[in-house]
Amino acid sequence: WLDVRGNHDNFNLPSLKSDSNLFASHSVQGRYHQRSYLHSLRLPGISVAFIAIDATLLPGPKRPFNFVGVLPPSEFSLLQGLAQEARDTHDHTFWFGHYPTSCIIGPTHGVDGVRAVMHGGVAYVCGHLHSLGGLVPAMHTRQHNGLLELELEDWKDGRMFRVMALDHGLFSFVDVRYNTWPVMLITNPKHALYHQPTRENPELTQRSSHIRVLVWSLANVTRVVVKINDEDTWRETQHIKGPLYVAPWTPSVYSAGLHTIQVLAVDDDGRERIVRQPFSLDGSSPSFRLLPRVFLMSNISAVFQFLFGCSVFVCTFVLCVFRYLHYTLSRSRRSNICRGGVFRFPFIRAFVRKLWVLSSVDRIFWPLIIYMLYLPIGPWLIGELLDNRYGVIFSWGTFVYGSFLPGSLTFAYGFALYVVFFFPFILALAHCVDCRMHSIFIEPCTGVLHHACKNLPLMLPLMMQVFQSYLMYLAYGWLCVLFAPIRSWAVVFGVVMWIQAEMLPAGELHSAAELWYGEQRIAVAPSNRRAQYQDNGGLNAWLRTSGAVDGASSNGGVASKSNNRAAVSNTEAAERASTSDNCCNDAKKVYENLMRSEEGSISEEFSSDVVGRQQSASSHGSPL
């Protein structure tokens, strides 16, 4: 057996000499090789080198930050020496390891440096990603240097194993699920998808005389037949030795394009199975699927870092843009903004207004920006990353047990934090601030349903953060709960921002309200003042408010300057005669009509009536 460590053998491992290094005591090769090694297989006429790559982290922290492999300079130099030895003394070289090359950080040129070391090899077989839970079956690809990289579904749950063969230097393989019989591997002609033009000679197949198939079963194999394309009859094969079955063929007939070969095998117990695969003799080949190529040919660490950077940029940039627009338009004394174009749609206008208003409030905007910019720079948590050994995790790396582990999964973790927490939290907080502005300047928002719709979106991301903080506690102990800006501190921060949004004073929102509602509308806001003017004392206060008559005349008809002066003088007269029944009755009519108006205005006809009463009262020297 040739085995090599993976990340599951490396959790909570301070050093290779630790008693918790179970791979050293329970594996086959672990007692002979601490890390990477070369195994040589020599048979008559052929020699094959198998090079194991151990890219596990050292030290190995507890989960979850133990996902991506790292090759330190010493290990990378060892692999370079093993690769040179294999090229000098062996016909073929196979590489195997736990991590795919996309998940290995090399000391130079990242993953490209790792792939360059494997140049000239036949294939690199690995696990780790497996099939991503069944989402990406057959995760295979061919790297730019011609190396085949072949992930295999896991044995624990998927029960998948692989059979590989070299036939005159041509590499073939088949992935088989456990308890699938008979097992068949067609070695000549080989599968067209896995051609390797840089290292294989196509003439070996073009000049071959026989189709060759390897067949295994639990019972004696009684029949193996082959068929190419849509031939009417099956060709019988001849059993040569062991699992090898052959059938004569004429390759020149299939010299152009893609073709399909089928093999049918039957054993003594009645098990029967057919396999099909494409082949070509002119180099024609189908294409590898997109997802396997993305996961195996990319640089996972760079992708995580890019996504994390984009999430930070989007969150902060959007708020800063709205902040700048608010500052610019506030200075220009604009009002009732965003009325045309796409803003005619209520949903779009409301969405923009909420983020705009949030960005205009200093006590919310600046803490959000500072906190979101802190996470890419400052420490995320301090905790027991190894048993009885503490470390510090940043987005860009981890310091633990005197070592530095470069960041990789941390970037994915940060990206998830922004997507799952910050995005929804900012939207929910913006909705809460917008409701607060509406309550102050337009109409108080009451009712259980309203408060539920306002507060529930804020509660959900905070509750998720509480749950994640609990998981952090299980992994790294109490210390990481107390010193975890990425988790527990985010909960405290969110609650503080929530309270601030609920208690914002009118002064913090006045500039935004003027832009979105207009000065005249927020100056009157009758429905918000209805409770203030329920008695005659409040009525007198209303009469002293010049904005009441001004608001009425602005929407129902513009009064002249002389009428405004008359309104002021008659208001003073009303104060002197507040006990008069005539004053109360007439003033109540004005007040009731103003309260019934939608925007705090009255009709032109009613406004004229008020001005007429004022002029008449002024000429006779009597109270309104």
CA 240 vs. chain centroid, Å, equals 55
CB 402 within 8 A of CB 390: no
Tokens (6 digits) for 280: 């070509």
CATH 3.60.21.10 residue window(s) in the chain: 1-128
pTM metric for this prediction:
0.78
Tokens (6 digits) for 324: 């700048």
Tokens (6 digits) for 252: 């020149």
Tokens (6 digits) for 356: 């705009």
Other residues' Cβ atoms within 10 Å of the Cβ of residue 287? 7
Per-run averaged pLDDT (10 residues), the chain, 624 residues = 93 91 92 94 94 95 91 95 96 97 88 91 96 93 95 93 96 96 97 93 93 97 96 94 96 94 96 96 93 95 95 96 92 73 82 94 96 96 93 95 92 95 96 92 78 88 94 91 93 96 91 80 50 41 40 39 41 43 48 44 41 46 43
> Distance between CA 123 and CA 92 in Å, rounded?
10
Instruction: Return the pLDDT at 518.
Output: 74
Superfamily name with CATH number, domain 176-297: Immunoglobulins (2.60.40.10)
CB 56 within 8 A of CB 10: yes
Report CA-CA distances (Å) from 172 to 162, 163, 433: 11, 8, 64
CATH 2.60.40.10 residue window(s) in the chain: 176-297
Instruction: Return the pLDDT at 221.
Output: 96
Per DSSP, what are the bridge partners of residue 97? Answer: 53
The DSSP secondary-structure symbol of 22 reads H
DSSP 316-349: HHHHHHHHHHHHHHHHTT--S-S-SGGGGSHHHH
Q: Extract long-range pairs of 298-301: CB within 8 Å, 24+ residues apart.
A: 298/102, 299/102, 299/110, 299/111, 300/68, 300/102, 300/103, 300/408, 301/68, 301/103, 301/105, 301/110, 301/111, 301/406, 301/407, 301/408, 301/411
Instruction: Return the pLDDT at 607.
Output: 42
The DSSP secondary-structure symbol of 287 reads P
Angle at alpha carbon of residue 613, lines to 611 and 618, rounded to 5°: 95
Tokens (6 digits) for 308: 């994390």
Q: Give the sheet arrangement for strand 272-280, strand by strand.
A: 235-236, 221-228, 258-267, 272-280
Please name the residue ranges forming H helices in 239-393: 290-297, 300-331, 346-360, 362-374
> Distance between CA 329 and CA 323 in Å, rounded?
10
Tell me the three state secondary structure of residue 444.
Answer: coil
> Distance between CA 490 and CA 468 in Å, rounded?
11
What is the CATH architecture assignment of 1-128?
4-Layer Sandwich (3.60)
Task: State in Å, rounded, how far the first CA of the chain is from the last one.
Answer: 106
Per DSSP, what are the bridge partners of residue 37? Answer: 52
Tokens (6 digits) for 542: 């209303």
- Which phi and psi angles does 236 have, rounded to 5°? -75, 145
